Structure 1
Amino acid sequence: MGSAVYRFGQYALDTDSRRLSRDGKHVDVEPRALELLCHLVEHRDRVVSEDELGDRLGRGHTVSESMLATWLRTARLAVGDSDTGQRLIRTVSPHGYRFVAPAAAASTASPTPSPSDPAIAAAAEADREVIRFCRSADGTRIAYAITGEGPPFVKTANWLTHLDLDRTNPMWAHWFDGLTRGRQLIRYDERGCGLSEWNVPGFTLDDLIADLDSVADAVGLDRFPLLGVSQGGAVAVAYAARRPERVSRLILTSAYARGRQIRADSDAERDAAEVDLNIARAGWRSQDSSFLRYVASQFLADATPAEWDAFAAYQRQTTSSANGLRFLEEFTRIDVSGIAHQVTCPTLIIHARDDARVPVAQALELATLIPDSRLILLESRNHLFTADDPAWPTFLSHLDNFLAE
């Protein structure tokens, strides 16, 4: 089709120059995601199949299902849409998509948008959070989000996140709401999952530290408090030890210094660690609900079987099976115990007393290794505090007080 400027709501899409703008301001979008958006808008009179999009974007190369899904999510985010909202880009069964928002081809200034326009409502929702992309030292694309107003507060990435889904997912929605109260929260998806690049060259501790560096640099942060959750705690410890000039305060929850295989110091513990890993492997490879429920029960000990199944389904949305196995194997071998003593900033360690995934002994070890640290144990069995967990408001209260000091 011929080149044109298509206007929908506050957005203008120039399909010739491949440029998207909102209220006259350029919107930075990854090229393949922008090309996908252009193709859908140009062919908005029909359903566009996944195969057609793959052929268009692959340029002679095969496009994986996960990569196409990533580009689609990125395109939706760029125009204030989402996988669940689908006000502009609708998924049409069995394997197609259609741009459904009113879009007029024009070359003049856009008319004043109507406040009732669905695209405007979607854009207003998107205004509450900005998702952008940066490149890590090895070129890996990292997706990060900036939400709220106030002093900056950075959360290290940990697996089981997806920037486009977390705000409405029951596992993370209350974390999002609690951490953004009076603060500007900066969070990002781990390399290999969520909206970050899934095909990554490396997954070492140095890579993870470089990812955090790239996000902090992209946001323009010099010094900031840092939160590490679960295996993100080990990355936070390493970052605070290696970048003392950047981290003002450190908060660790459900964290550990040594992965399960590293900290096993007896044959029984080594056998248990291997069994645990093999069950997780079997779950990812077979998608058998009994294996997946076992893994979920360690993260959410007090949840129902239905909630465990929802947790397993969410896992599959965050990354590929190959990457899921890679994460499990890498995290069980992570070890920052040798550098934890180099952390010089004030540190708050919060842990569930009966954490079913990471035993409380790991919190005690962190408190022993980090010089200026304090330990708070909460009455809970959940590795990740749930919204209805009595420990959740207590956790937030301790975090708020610590950051306010």
Structure 2
Amino acid sequence: MNPSKIMMWQQQIEETVNGRPEMVGGKGTIQGVTLEKDATNGVGGDCRLFFYEEAGIAPTMDKTKEYMLAALSMGEITTGIFIAAGSVGELDQCKPLEHMIKYPEVNDIYAVETDLIDDKGTIGLAGLFIPEQWSMPPYIDKYGNSLVKEALEALDKSREKMKKDLEPGLYQLRISQRPRNIAEAFAHREISIFPQHLVAAQKRRIEEKEYFSELLDISRDAEGKVIVKKSNKLPIREFPITKKTEDKTGVLEVWERPDEKSEWGTYYGSIDPVSEGKTTTSESLCSIYIYKRAIEVTRIDEAGKTQTFIEQDKIVAAWCGRFDDLEQTHKRLEMIIEWYQAWTIVENNISLFIQYMIRENKQKYLVPKDQIMFLKILGPTEMCTKNMGGRM
């Protein structure tokens, strides 16, 4: 590669042809540009590889990427690659990097499944993140494999000392440059009396308008009773779901567990079913929402006085996903309904789940068509003639 001018290299070499000097070669070019003052600098023309260095201190990187998309594609065909890499800098400078790492598919960034979302081992999709504990000398075996457990133990010890020796703000800044997970990398840096990993998680929930919820796996024990346990999986938040996503089973999200003392009719379910298991032709996902009606609640306060009030209605649980085996999808729906003892409406343009519940002798959980008031308003000509469920 010969430089023709500053930060411009071309694949060529000078040779003598017929007694005259001539530059020969592939003539491909490598160009370096600075984007500090102008996010569009260097944009234009065909590009096969765009490498954005020091992405952690690049507040306009997202704009540059958008300008580069035309140069990295031809019509609907992608012809080039956009790569961004770097450590996290000041938080107001690394917003684009944070968004690309946390929401890769929205940003057309290659997504990988990882358990490095936070310190809880939450599993989800993210941009490629290399934590401090990987390939951390001297915690590498003779074959080059990372000794992750030993590296994490060493990091814990060094952080205990740093926490005692450094001011809180400086301590937070230092660990952000050697993060063990994505949450640590982008944690708030200023002095705070609150644990930063909890603050960061709460901030994200506020930004995404989420309420406190549990993520649970639901199954049956040896006696057939419905049981739940905490899950590290994340709920499906996108539709249509990315075709590259292999695991579409989702996770049960619960805002309030069922009250075992509640009477029948406290909980209601609504299901949008699917007609297939594993498929490459349909983007459909099965979904169920559990609703709790408004109820009268009586409580005794600290002074011994009885208080009675109406607790408003609300959504208490939801699941979205599908299994490769349609039978497993039906079992998931059945367990959720049974756990809440929810009287459930099923969209009946796909009757397979209704048939499944009848086969299992659990049709008591399904709302008959003649009990659905809005169907009576719409009239029989608007709806199908099936006995269970309705069109939604």
Q: Which has the higher contact order (CA 8 A, sep 6+)?
A: 1
TM-score normalised by L of structure 1: 0.28
TM-score normalised by L of structure 2: 0.29
Higher share of residues assigned strand? 2
Higher share of residues assigned helix? 1
Larger radius of gyration: 2
